[in-house]
Copies of this chain bind each other. A is one copy, B any other.
Amino acid sequence: MVKCFPQELDQLFSALGEPVRRSVVRSLATGEKSLSALAEPFSMTMPAVMKHVAVLERSGLVRSEKRGRTRYCSLEPARLKEAQDWIAETVAFWTPKLESLARHLEASE
């Protein structure tokens, strides 16, 4: 299921472990946005927003492209799926224990 390297999962999960960056991801889910449009909801300087976007780009969650003097950012949802897959796999590891517990309870009735 998970196709990317552990190091990429590090970048992915820690990118999501920050409220500003999760907001940015949510904001981009509705379409591409410029850096200043992303910065607007937060009372934060441009360099700070740029650093968050850089973290998101390194994680593969976001890509950006400069057109004229504006840099447009957009979401790369394939990466979000990697995180989702890792969690799904972990839950799958865990679930058999629950099922065997259920069988055990049934058997002891």
Residues on the B chain within 8 Å of A90, using CB: 25-26, 29, 80
Residues 19-36 of A at the B interface (beta carbon under 8 Å): 19, 22, 25-26, 29-31
Residues on the B chain within 8 Å of A9, using CB: 16-17, 19, 22
Extra contacts besides A13-B14, A77-B94, A81-B91 (8): CB < 8 Å: A6-B19, A10-B18, A15-B17, A16-B17, A31-B97, A80-B91, A83-B87, A87-B87
Query: A-side binding surface: helix, strand, loop or mixed?
Result: helix
| Cβ B88 vs Cβ A29 within 8 A | no
Shortest distance from the beta carbon of A78 to any chain B beta carbon, whole Å: 11
In the complex, whether A62 has a CB less than 8 A from a CB of chain B is no
In the assembled complex, the Cα of A29 lies from the Cα of B87 at a distance in Å of 11
Question: Whose C-beta in chain B lies nearest to the C-beta of A93?
Answer: B29
In the assembled complex, the Cα of A75 lies from the Cα of B10 at a distance in Å of 20
* B interface footprint on A54-86 (CB within 8 Å = 1, 0 otherwise): 000000000000000000000101001101101
| Cβ A26 vs Cβ B80 within 8 A | no
Residues on the B chain within 8 Å of A97, using CB: 29-31
